Structure 1
């Protein structure tokens, strides 16, 4: 009961460790309106979804997060079984859910530890939830914790903008001996594609040629791809079906798309995520863990304060209801037979006495809870 009051949230996570990209793609399909309505009928207040190239995360707030989380876990597990996978998203409740969310948001649970991309993707998930169905007070508190922790981790250099899947893709090009003096083709113009371009520059490659569905002065149209001459390609698009056919001369194609975008031979996400990953330095990891611990404790404190304020608001509402409705009802028999002006004065006096006494009680409660 204590954990539920302090953190009425639950988180489910499914990563590259438990399921390949194609299976995670099945799990990350949008929930149906019927599914969401069913969860709301069981006490769901809000749901945030985060889907990246390496993980899916669902964060929910509910009256009983253990119960609603288990219902969502069962629904997602059924999808995975249909896809031929026996894995199940891991359910964490209360403070453990908040800790997991915060670790994910600063890249501590990433294949490339300390990456910056995932923090932006977590914030995108909160913003999408706020735009569609709104975000409950408990999820807003979690959102604030993510923002505050991310800012502190960046100030201390624990989260580095150039570190992420784009960094990993460029490392792969170098490992496959793509010449440093040759321009790489990059397909896509979103956050990951921009990270890839920045990583290529830091590695010493010339400015890449970028291709996208919406061309501009610096971005080439997709129709120019068949005639392009690049040994190395990085695909960052997000079409629902594979479409990219490597042109002649393409020797190394890294596919960061989810689902896979390449028709033919490519180094896809499953291949990239099959290695050992990139770890933070031990001292940086220890410092990041300490920041998460402090952020969780700060979250607990805020939740206790919010819970106390909710209790006080409820007590005050009950007091007002008693004064306005119950006092006249309780005094009706006592005042029977008195004239109307006298009854009115007596009821007003009783109401005022209750207000004075309850005001002292509420004042003492407020001092106690701060």
Structure 2
């Protein structure tokens, strides 16, 4: 069995591609069921965020291509197009990649903390869909332990840095005085909650939170002295908003060019700063064509993010060292488990041969055969049966000049052969 990590992220694919490959919450259960149902797949988990879609699987030898073709079918994409922007890692490299993702070393914002929570959600979804077996279960638990150690022993999580923080930092370059700015936040998830708190800390106290359900928006807006509205009330709120930041899981855009154009007219063309953090996008790209709109997507936050990355690089180097230790520990445990399974299988086969020889010996005694002859035949048959397969394998190895196998056999079968232990 092989551990595979296959996916795309912000480094390998544009936001247009990422939004096509993303799994919505409503799709996730069906996707896990289909993926786990592939003959080549033994275990499976799916991580899907605005910046990455990744599949973690325990597979047979031919599983990678089967998974890539399945991903293309699920999202109605050509496999060739996916292959150009997809990456894959196997076994130790896959484990290392998962740990780097968990601590934020592979994120757009170095060390951002949200990804660990998203990974835990992906793990829980896979468990509920019965996609996890022993291998992935142990890998995820080990990864969470490594991530906790990294957060505890390095400064990777200090000084809040996230896509949300980067969006607010970018807004601060445009607005000299946040205290006079009014913000409209669309969505009520973790990202928008971070945006709201960053804006509030920066001096924006006129906050409006729009969400599909008013209850969730009420909880967030109320904690910061803002007001909550539903998505249907966005056109009216847009007329009074200087800053608009959106992050929902909606499959289609929420803000269209026409809606924004009408709001600008009523604002007498006072500009609006917009950041669309969602994948798929919440704001139609055509909105950016309007003269009084400054529209940014997650990909446009790269400059701000790079500044933050430099501040966290020392902690990141420390985290890499801890991850290498984590990969080594996982690999060691996996080898021990693999050796244990081999020993169990070998003992089971040997015991089956023993039982067969024993039954034949007892049958001979029951027929009145000479006990000494029965014992001699038992010893001869059992020895031949136990040595037959190893002998064939050794001859084949010698014929093929597989010195590695011959050396291993010598170490396993002949080292200590002079011992007199009965």
Aligned to 1:235: 246
The DSSP-based 3-state class of the residue aligned with 1:335 is: helix
Question: Gaps spanning 5+ residues in structure 2: where?
Answer: 222-227, 289-294, 383-411, 413-422
Residue deviations 1:38-97 (CA, integer Å, cap 9, x gap): 63x22x211111111111211111243xx3123323544685547967623111111011
Structure 1 counterpart SS, 2:331: helix
Query: Counterparts of 1:251 and 1:178 in 2: how far apart (Å)?
Result: 14
The two structures, once aligned, show a CA RMSD in angstroms of 3.3
- Structure 1 pair 167–37 and aligned structure 2 pair: CA distance change class (3 A): closer
Q: Verify the 8 A CA contact 1:184 1:233 in the aligned structure 2.
A: yes
CA distance in 1, matches of 2:175, 2:202: 13
Aligned residue runs from structure 1 range 45-60, under 5 A: 45-60=42-57
Kindly state the Cα deviation for residue 160 of structure 1 after the two structures are TM-superposed.
Answer: 4.3
8 Å contact from structure 2 (residues 8, 53) kept in 1: yes
Contact in 2 for aligned 1:178/1:231 (Cα 8 Å):
no
Count of equivalent residues: 335
1:233 match: secondary structure: strand
1:252 aligns with 2:277: no
Q: Which consecutive residues of structure 1, in runs of 5 or more, have no partner in the other structure? A: 355-364, 366-370
> For residue 151 of structure 1, what is the aligned residue in structure 2?
148
Give the Cα–Cα distance (whole angstroms) in 1 for the partners of residues 324 and 277 of structure 2. 32
Offset from partner CA, 1:319-353 (integer Å, 9 cap, x none): 55456x524543255234259xxx9xx99xx9xxx
Aligned with 2:139: secondary structure?
A: helix
Task: Determine the structure 2 residue equivalent to 1:110.
Answer: 107
| Max Rg structure | 2
Q: Secondary structure of the equivalent of 2:84?
A: coil
SS state of the match for residue 171, structure 1?
A: helix
Deviates more, 1:11-20 or 1:70-79: 70-79
Trace 1:238-317 onto structure 2 (pairs within 5 A): 238-244=249-255, 245-246=259-260, 247-248=263-264, 249=267, 251-263=272-284, 264-265=287-288, 266-273=295-302, 277=306, 278-280=308-310, 281-317=312-348
1:184 counterpart SS class: strand
Matched, 1:27 2:21: yes
TM-score by length of 1: 0.79
When normalised by structure 2's length, the TM-score is: 0.70
- 1:72 and 1:274 map into 2 onto residues whose CA distance is 34
